[in-house]
Amino acid sequence: MSSYNAPFEIHVHGQVQLRADTSFEQLQEALKPLWKYAGARSLADGAASAYEEEPGIKFDAQEHMLQMCWTVRGDDDFRQSLDEMCMSLNELAELGAAIEVTFYDADFDEDEEDDGTESRDDFVMLFVGPTPAAIMQVQRDLLVQDVVNMMERHFDGAELGGVVAEIDKLFTQRFDALVNSLEIGKPPRGSGGPGGSGGGHGGGRRPRHLH
């Protein structure tokens, strides 16, 4: 499909703190679903955005930071590329991070709104991180920020401690449920069978604030 008749302009925005040992080659492979979708042969070739004023995909090797402000023309099948990218970035991420993806309807004409035509615009928030706990931490922080910003229109920030505590309680329950589900799949302790010392992924440390 030619990019000129693609139904969407898709904007990917976010920054991810990477492990200190992350190489450009590793990052290039992790981001392959993006630059390959754009028709490029390498990350360097595909890092430029469809819009010149956007910085595109940048790798700061000194700060170990991936920064994305990148637009590509495409279709709904781009969502599969996003899923593949997130799975790969989980292996390289040092901390949890949020990535915003906006699908802009390239064919929509605002003048058509009067005719009852609706835009197909869509917004997706993706999360990456080295563990489920790190990902939940980012989700928790974003939710607290959104709720506090909304409620501060009516209440003083000092009055919202109870609301934040309830949000933490919800995430604690979700985290504990995840850990329990992983524990169920683990062999009994002391088992001499294959993988007896393996264990589940992402148990580990509970996110901070989630007491």
Query: What is the CATH number for 16?
Result: 3.60.90
| Closest listed residue to residue 106, CA positions, set 121, 94, 126 | 121
Same domain, 110 and 200: no
Q: In this predicted structure, what is the pLDDT of residue 84?
A: 97
Residue that wins the pLDDT comparison between 49 and 205: 49
Identify the domain containing residue 143 by its residue range. 131-211
Residue type, 143: L
Counted domains in the chain: 2
Q: Please check whether residue 202 is in contact with residue 196, taking contact to mean a CB–CB distance below 8 angstroms.
A: no
Distances (CA, A) of 162 to 8, 61, 82, 167, 176: 42, 41, 36, 9, 21
- Burial grade of 209 (CB within 10 A; 0-12, 13-18, 19 or more): middle
How far apart are the C-alpha atoms of 163 and 72, rounded to whole Å?
39
Last residue of a domain, one of 72, 101, 130: 130
Task: Calculate helix-pair angle for 161-184, 132-151, nearest 10 degrees.
Answer: 160
Last residue of a domain, one of 130, 151, 167: 130
Last residue of a domain, one of 130, 161, 196: 130
Residue that wins the pLDDT comparison between 190 and 110: 110
Q: Please check whether residue 53 is in contact with residue 93, taking contact to mean a CB–CB distance below 8 angstroms.
A: no
pTM exceeding 0.85: no
Same domain, 164 and 62: no
Measure CA 47 to chain center. Answer: 18
Confidence tier at 172 by pLDDT (50, 70, 90)? confident
87-102 mean pLDDT: 97
Q: Which DSSP string do the residues of 100-124 spell out, in sequence order?
A: EEEEEETT--GGGGGGT-----EEE
Q: In this predicted structure, what is the pLDDT of residue 207?
A: 55
Same domain, 28 and 125: yes
Same domain, 119 and 195: no
Task: Please check the confidence at residue 114 and state whether its pLDDT lies above 70.
Answer: no
Other Cβ atoms closer than 10 A to 39: 11
Same domain, 10 and 72: yes
Burial profile 79-111: b = 16 or more Cβ within 10 angstroms, e = fewer: bebbebbbebbbebbbebbbbebebbebebeee
Name every residue whose Cβ is closer than 8 Å to that of residue 36 and which is 6 or more positions away in sequence.
46, 81
Measure CA 79 to chain center. Answer: 12
- Over residues 28-75, the pLDDT tens digits come to 999 999 999 999 999 999 999 999 999 999 999 999 999 999 999 999
Same domain, 141 and 210: yes
Q: In this predicted structure, what is the pLDDT of residue 119?
A: 76
